[in-house]
Amino acid sequence: MSRSTTDVPAQVAGADACTVREVLDRVGGKWSIGVIVEASRGPVRFTELERAVEGISRRMLTLTLRNLERDGLLTRTVHPTVPPKVEYVATPMARELYDALLTLTTWADRHRGDIAAARHRYDEARAD
What is the rounded distance in angstroms from the CA atom of residue 61 to the CA atom of residue 44? 13
Of 41, 70, 85, 120, the one binding DNA (CB under 7 A) is 85
Map residue 79 onto helix, strand or coil: strand
The answer to whether residue 47 forms part of the interface with DNA (CB under 7 A) is yes
Judged by beta carbon, residue 58 or residue 107, the one nearer its own copies is: 107
Residue range at the interface with DNA (CB under 7 A); choices 4-12, 16-24, 85-93, 110-118: 85-93
Q: Does 65 bind its own copies (CB under 8 A)?
A: no
The CB-of-21 to its own copies minimum distance in angstroms stands at: 6
At 77, give phi and psi (nearest 5°): -120, 125
- Beta bridge partners, 77, equal 87
Which residues, in sequence order, are CB contacts of 48 under 8 Å at separation 6+? 38
Round to whole Å and give the CA distance between 73 and 23: 12
Applying CB under 8 A, which residues contact its own copies? Answer: 1, 3-6, 8, 10, 13-14, 16-17, 19-24, 26-28, 33-34, 37-38, 40-41, 69-72, 93, 95-112, 114-115, 117-119, 121-123
